[in-house]
Amino acid sequence: MSNTPVATGAPRELIDPLTTRAAHSDFAVRLRANSEYVVIPLLALIIAAGLFAVFLMAIGKSPVDFVSYVWRGGFGTAFSFQNTLQRSAPLILTALAVAIPARIGLIMIGGEGALVLGGFAAGALAIPMIGHAPPMVALVLMALFAMIVGGFWVGFSGFLRYARGVNETISSLLLTYIGIAIMNFFVEGALRDLSNPNKPSTMPIGDAYMVGKIPGTQVHWGFAFGLALCVALYFLMARTTFGFAARVTGGNFRAALAQGLPVGRLIVACSAIAGACAGLAGFFEVAAIQGRANASLAAGYGFTGILVSFLARHNPLVIPPVAILLGGLVASGGLIQRRMELPDATVLVLQGFIFVVLLTSETLYGRFAIFRSTKERDRT
Amino acid sequence: MSVTEFSRRGLLKTAALGVAGATLNLGAVKRTFAAADLTVGIVYVGARDDFGWNQAHAVAIKSLKEVPGVKVVEEENVPETDAVSKSMESMINLDGAGLILATSFGYYTPFVVDLAKKYPDVQFRHAAPLWSQDKDPKNAGSYFGYLNQAHYVNGVAAGLCTKKNKIGFVAAKPIASVLSNINSVLLGARSTNPNATVQVIFTGDWSMPVREAEAANALVDAGCDVITCHVDGPKVVIETAEKRGVMSCGHNASQAPLAPKGFITGAEYKWITIYKGYASDLAEGKSLPNFLTGGYEVDFVQNTPFGAAATEPAQKAALAAIEGLKAKKPIYVGPLKDNKTGKVVIDKTYGNLDPFLDKMDYLLEGVVGSTT
């Protein structure tokens, strides 16, 4: 990831300090430079949509119908839009679990495991507290515990990376399966609620202990926390010394070491933050949706989060709109199945097109003169 | 719309109409329905053509579509998360569904229950015996088939087809409904072949294609010459049996096309009986039953038409067994012992729907294998 320009334009500052100084002095030039990061992804989306339209026509379906159903099923009514927001809530958090390590140069894809274990930890911690602790206290403790467990899980991958040189992508993926197995072991064994004979789950936490909806909506609080975390983590990564150190490490960890930056601690911290985000997503799955921990926690949110983060170019502020876009596609997937009699994989085909075209579009950055300042153009 | 009709103007027009339609719909969500135009929404946890549980429902839904005045909307691969509650809600809000059929076990709590409370005018029915009169909403309910009766018929036929007297059973989890199917295969087989045994391997989960193939192979290696199963999608098991040149009996839906040589018969749900019943009750303005369950006696289960491996005597015996079950002839004729300690677990003869049998946590003597 080190040679990819990030949305803040940081690497360019490093390459070309002169332009940067000029850009900072001139808002219009800065806007022009940054608009590249908006225009190219939009262009990619349009091309992906065009390809998908051809695909639809090839199988004899109308792209126009498709668009109108996506609109209607994902955005067009109050119900649909809230459906979309609710579906995007776990994706925002699991995308953060990919985006933060990406800033320090790690490709962590273990969000699913941290989500499952975090959710399980929250569900397990709830058992002794039901009926004893006040709901607010119980929920806060559950959320913290979920974040600690999730943070430990991904943090461990980060530790292995730094201390033992283990590839973090592989280790975090494999730890995901171990995490799911641990959850299943307890849910089907020691912590199983025996009154629920056919679907192994922990004890239900009960309505009084459930996280409610954001007032006036059908969307649970996980969405709001996701948004807040996106903003907070954006500031952490873009505006603090910690974030700066992390980005330097991501750019060139040898240079970071030479500078005396605590690379090991930075790597583990970024990984742990990532795991905490995914663990929090697991907490909301248990406390806002399922009401208990069971195998349904492993619903693939952690994996979809990888897609969201890559589409958002690992920028926390871009994650929510991307997650909402994907949430809307998934939310409308049902309506598309029902009305157009298309298989549910249709939406996956569209997601695939978007992903491939967006990744391809990475090569376009810096190739359009229009995004560069006149001075820069003169020099090249 | 064909390729030539596709134009930018058309796109704009339809998009605009879509937006207008969506906006108009905001306020007036039509939830009530006339008896003549019922919309049924059904959600599946897997693919509709999985040769198993989901396909059994999809086949029934296909014939429900032919009932005049009934419109069906379907959604497949819906996970057991809030995705299912949003899917069902979307069917209610956007399609005007008046009856929701939720076909996967994990859909019930909390999703079906919560949604039934939220939409009291919509009927919800869930395919597992979970509805409780005391605490669950009155517009929700359960339906389920006693598939063990059809497995009993499998056993009757298999008992006469097997040459080695060994029937192999690939099972998912040791829960009551699975155990009852295994025990019923044994009792069916013993009714026609007193020397028959059933050897069982548990895979541990509902859908584990690799382990299912391993288990089927292991059973064939152990000398079983008829293989049957209780897993979500029996495709792998039946195909493996066919490949190994042994006979097979199906589960959930028809797997006959997968085993042109070795298929005997299979245990199938007959959901259409229930679905048509719901549709006609609603059309007549009657209230729907909250709890429907049964087997051959109410036409909720059936056996797949005989395959190439079903011998003449096996076919005759199976048909006779079906007649018996329709007349409520009991399967569990006590006393019966378990296969672990030899102690009597079924003290007397129980009717086929007796709740005592729903608590089954044992394998009967004659079954080789253990629940733990």
Complete domains list, chain B, with CATH = 31-140 (3.40.50.2300), 148-268+303-368 (3.40.50.2300)
State yes or no: pLDDT of B7 exceeds 80: no
> What confidence score (pLDDT) does residue B30 get?
38
* A228 within a domain of the structure (yes/no): yes
* A71 within a domain of the structure (yes/no): no
Q: Which residues of A touch B105 (CB under 8 A)?
A: 198-199
Q: Check residue A131 and give left, alpha or beta (phi > 0: left; psi -120 to 50: alpha).
A: left
User: Would you call B110 and A291 a contact, using CB atoms and an 8 Å cutoff?
Assistant: yes
pLDDT interval class at B204 (50, 70, 90): confident
Domain co-membership, A314 together with A178 = yes
Q: What is the pLDDT of residues B30-54, one digit of tens each?
A: 334 444 589 999 999 988 888 999 9
User: Would you call B110 and A296 a contact, using CB atoms and an 8 Å cutoff?
Assistant: no
- Give CA A330 to chain center in angstroms: 15
Position of tokens 């229930």? B274
Domain co-membership, A203 together with A124 = yes
SS3 B201: strand
Domain co-membership, A351 together with A297 = no
State yes or no: pLDDT of B96 exceeds 70: yes
- B35 compared with B103, residue with greater pLDDT: B103
- Give CA A145 to chain center in angstroms: 20
Q: Which residues of B touch A49 (CB under 8 A)?
A: none
| Range 283-312 of B in CB contact (< 8 A) with A | none
Provide the mean pLDDT of chain B.
89
Whether B94 has its CB under 8 Å from any CB of chain A: the answer is yes
Nearest to A338 by CA among B12, B30, B97, B3: B97
Q: Cα distance from B115 to chain A (closest Cα, Å)?
A: 12
Average pLDDT over residues B81-97: 91
pLDDT interval class at B11 (50, 70, 90): very low
Distance CA B9, CA B7 (A): 5
Using beta carbons and an 8 Å cutoff, which residues of A are at the interface with B?
Answer: 57, 60, 62-65, 67-69, 71-73, 76-80, 83, 86-87, 196-199, 204, 285, 289-291, 294, 296, 299-300, 330-331, 334-335, 337-339, 343-344
- CA geometry: angle A81, A85, A89, nearest 5 deg: 170
Q: Cα distance from A205 to chain B (closest Cα, Å)?
A: 12
Smallest CA–CA distance from B17 into chain A, residue: A68
User: Would you call B11 and A63 a contact, using CB atoms and an 8 Å cutoff?
Assistant: yes
The tokens describing B165, both together, are 């007297």
Nearest CB to A57; choose among B6, B17, B82: B6
User: Would you call A337 and B21 a contact, using CB atoms and an 8 Å cutoff?
Assistant: no
User: Would you call A296 and B21 a contact, using CB atoms and an 8 Å cutoff?
Assistant: no
Query: Is the distance from CB of B81 to CB of A299 less than 8 angstroms?
Result: yes
Whether B91 has its CB under 8 Å from any CB of chain A: the answer is yes
Range with lowest mean pLDDT among B18-27, B124-133, B295-304: B18-27
> What confidence score (pLDDT) does residue B22 get?
41
Domain co-membership, A162 together with A186 = yes
Mutate to test the interface with B, among A56, A83, A94, A330 (most CBs of B within 10 A): A83
User: Would you call A83 and B86 a contact, using CB atoms and an 8 Å cutoff?
Assistant: yes
* A68 within a domain of the structure (yes/no): no
**DSSP string of A202-221?**
PPP--GGGS--BPTTSS-BT
* A74 within a domain of the structure (yes/no): no
Domain co-membership, A150 together with A54 = no
Average pLDDT over residues B82-86: 89
> What confidence score (pLDDT) does residue A379 get?
53
Domain co-membership, A132 together with A156 = yes
Domain co-membership, A92 together with A11 = no
Q: What is the pLDDT of residues B336-355, one digit of tens each?
A: 999 999 999 999 999 999 98
Nearest CB to B15; choose among A64, A87, A291: A64
* A73 within a domain of the structure (yes/no): no
Kindly give, in sequence order, each residue whose CB lies less than 8 Å from that of residue A309, ignoring residues fewer than 6 positions away.
Answer: A95, A96, A97, A98, A99, A102, A319
State yes or no: pLDDT of B25 exceeds 50: no
Mutate to test the interface with A, among B74, B85, B86 (most CBs of A within 10 A): B86
Nearest to A331 by CA among B89, B31, B110: B89
User: Would you call A79 and B87 a contact, using CB atoms and an 8 Å cutoff?
Assistant: no
Q: Cα distance from B71 to chain A (closest Cα, Å)?
A: 11
- The CATH number given to whatever domain includes residue A321 is 1.10.3470
Distance CA B199, CA A180 (A): 30
State yes or no: pLDDT of B283 exceeds 80: yes
Q: What is the pLDDT of residues A236-291, one digit of tens each?
A: 999 999 999 999 999 998 999 999 999 999 999 999 999 999 999 999 999 999 88
CA distances in angstroms from A249 to A105, A162, A264, A270, B85, listed in the order given:
7, 12, 10, 11, 44
Distance CA A322, CA A310 (A): 10
Tally the domains of chain A: 2
Nearest CB to B76; choose among A330, A335, A337: A337
* Residue contacts between A and B (CB atoms, under 8 Å): 118
> What confidence score (pLDDT) does residue A374 get?
60
Domain co-membership, A14 together with A153 = no
- Stretches where chain A sits below pLDDT 70 are 1-25, 196-198, 372-380
Domain co-membership, A284 together with A149 = yes
Nearest CB to A86; choose among B15, B79, B86: B86
Parent domain of A365: 1-61+347-380
Domain co-membership, A366 together with A334 = no
CA distances in angstroms from A313 to A13, A16, A40, listed in the order given:
18, 21, 12
Domain co-membership, A333 together with A212 = yes
* A241 within a domain of the structure (yes/no): yes
Nearest to B182 by CA among B323, B338, B46: B338
B301-303 vs B263-269, strand pairing mode: antiparallel
> What confidence score (pLDDT) does residue A378 get?
56
Q: Which residues of A touch B76 (CB under 8 A)?
A: 337, 343-344
Nearest to A269 by CA among A375, A181, A152, A136: A152
Average pLDDT over residues B146-153: 96
> What confidence score (pLDDT) does residue B15 get?
45
Domain co-membership, A90 together with A10 = no
Distance CA B230, CA B206 (A): 8
Q: What is the pLDDT of residues B230-268, one digit of tens each?
A: 998 899 999 999 999 999 999 999 999 999 999 999 999
